[in-house]
Homo-oligomer: A and B are copies of this chain.
Amino acid sequence: MKWLKEVDGELWLTEDDRENLKLSYRVKKVIHAEQSPFQHVMILDTYDFGPTLVLDGVIQTTSIDGFIYNEMITHIPMMTHPKPENVLIIGGGDCGVAREVVKYDSVTRVDMVEIDELVVKLSKKHLPEVSGNLSDPRVNFIYADGTKHVRNQPNQYDVVIIDSSDPIGPATQLFSLEFYTGVAASLKADGLMVCQSQSPIFHMDIVNETQTKLKTLFPHTDVYTAVVPTYPGGLWSFSLGSKKYTPESIATGWDKAASYVNADILERCFSIPEFMKQALK
């Protein structure tokens, strides 16, 4: 396994997605490693972050900090919409987003479209801290290509959450205007979507391009951030596109149990650092 190396009797995972900055995690145990038809999937037990999902050598979610990303990509759109009923999750194989979505009583149906069934299977089995042993009957698992799915679901969803991996390999098309156009068509007339849009430190270009694309499709767009320790740069961006609702009074009625999100964080997350503001102009 090219991503794992033994050094002085210790096992280390070194991510190789960045050329000039490497994060290395000491590994207790390889819980599972398997090549799926789409990517190389590992569950590693790490010393600092516990059981961890690794796709093609890149950490996707960990038992210790996975909640930050999953809560932030979920609760901001869900609190922006006054009554989300039909929700689509694209990607999100670790089940962490679905777990947050089903906290809303208004939700009647969650379509979870993940291309790789192996990721769901392993996350449910080995990452209960992330997946929460998700067994809510409202969640429909659909193992398919998200870009194709949205084309056949016009006017269906209140909220679409795009929980993709990085824009390399299979996830590249999840960052395309063509795909966002499909997402917009799959939303109801007052629907809204959110996607992860990479690191403002290293990829302000992607943050900007995502906003540019969403602006052609939605009257309201916005960017918010959260801190994800296991993503390079720490600061992470999310982009919102909405046909009608805007994230004002977003904390009103907040009553969920969560570990990162609270009313303050909901209200604060759209306050972005000055260098981001200037780069977005």
Contacts and interface: CB of A to CB of B under 8 A. Distances in A.
Interface in A203-242: 225, 227-229, 231-235
A51 to B, nearest CB: 14
A30 interface: no
A70 interface: no
Contacts of A22: 12, 22-24
Interface in A239-281: 258-262, 264-265, 267-268, 271-275, 277
A20 interface: yes
A48 interface: yes
B19 A273 contact: no
A47 B19 contact: yes
A198 interface: no
Given A48-B18, A234-B229, A258 B274 contact: yes
A203 to B, nearest CB: 12
A157 interface: no
Contact of A260 (B26, B68, B262, B274): B274
A233 B23 CA distance: 11
Nearest to A267: B271
A188 to B, nearest CB: 31
A259 B235 contact: no
Given A26-B19, A233-B229, A271 B265 contact: yes
Contact of A262 (B14, B26, B234, B277): B277
Contacts of A23: 21-24
A186 interface: no
A122 B156 CA distance: 61
Interface in A30-47: 46-47
A259 B233 contact: no
A226 to B, nearest CB: 9
Interface in A1-34: 12, 14, 18-26
Interface string A176-197: 0000000000000000000000
Interface of A: 12, 14, 18-26, 46-48, 64-65, 68, 201-202, 225, 227-229, 231-235, 258-262, 264-265, 267-268, 271-275, 277
- 5 smallest CB-CB distances across A and B, nearest first, come from A234-B234, A264-B271, A20-B47, A20-B26, A268-B268
